Amino acid sequence: MTKPLLPLIVEPDELEKHLGAENLLIVDVGPAELYEDAHVPGAVHLDRAKLVSGRKPAVGDMPSDEQLSEVLSSLGITPDTHVVAYDDEGGGWAGRLLWTLDVFGHPHFSLLNGGICSWLTEGHPTSEGNVERPPTRFACSRRYQGYVDKDYILKRLGDPGVAIIDARSPAEYSGRDKRAEKAGHIPGAVNLNWTTAMDQPRKLRLKQEEVLRQMLSDLGVTPDKEVIVYCQTHHRSSHTYIMLKALGYPNVKAYPGSWAEWGNSPETPIE
């Protein structure tokens, strides 16, 4: 495997140095209107809706391999491409793209730390309008690394070697905010609201490594465990997934069905 061009979490200064590099693809997963006004030079735009199936109840599950192959090919991705993703919210939708690439075993990708917020406020160059790259033939063959389904979790409830992170708000986690037939959380899951990992004064970057590690340790989420993340549709928890990967957690998985599926399934237990 070739060496990655950039680290998993890349700072704006470092990305600017590599603009125009061979095999670098920058993908803006923010709103189309913001992209057209100002984006990282060379970035292509991806409609975030194409990353999810939209099929009820698991609306956040992945589309078919064929659909995703078409989407990723339209961006100009090849097996050698280093993909840098960003959005306007700190990394939820960008993380969803990177998680998708990880499920397919794509080796090289990065999250722009702070996204377009840090890029713009710190004075980095921008472009307007639309950028298109020649399409490729990127064949998606799902390896399921980083992916689990409802049955996988049901078999592991109560396993002390498994830590489940609910990345939703405290109100959703407790059941006060009901967004499915059932309210609450997966039994044994701990709550880590995805925005808690963001450093607001530092333009939505991830908080410092030692702060994140302590936060996770306090919740009992340690690197020796298999860690499974979820939210409502695996949008917010995609950010949590990338955070854990960046911290070097060796066994991280995500449940894209998330609460939209779990909370609407008659056979699933809740707390």
Active site residue ranges: 231
d(CA 9, CA 145): 20
Helix (H, G, I), strand (E, B) or coil at 178: coil
Partners of 227 in the β-ladder: 163, 252
Helix intervals (H) in the chain:
12-17, 32-37, 65-75, 92-103, 115-121, 150-154, 170-174, 209-218, 236-246, 258-262
d(CA 208, CA 187): 30
Beta bridge partners of 164: 228
Residue 108 · residue 5 · CB < 8 Å: yes
> What letters, b where the CB count within 10 A reaches 16 and e where it falls short, cover 50-82?
bbbbeeebbbbbbbeeeebbbbbbbbbbeeebb
CA distance to 10, 16, 39, 189, per residue, from 159 (Å)? 35, 45, 45, 11
Helices 236-246/92-103 angle, 10° precision: 70
For 131, the 3-state DSSP assignment is coil
Q: Are 116 and 224 in contact (CB under 8 A)?
A: no
Q: Could you tell me if 162 and 156 are in contact, meaning their C-beta atoms sit under 8 angstroms apart? A: yes
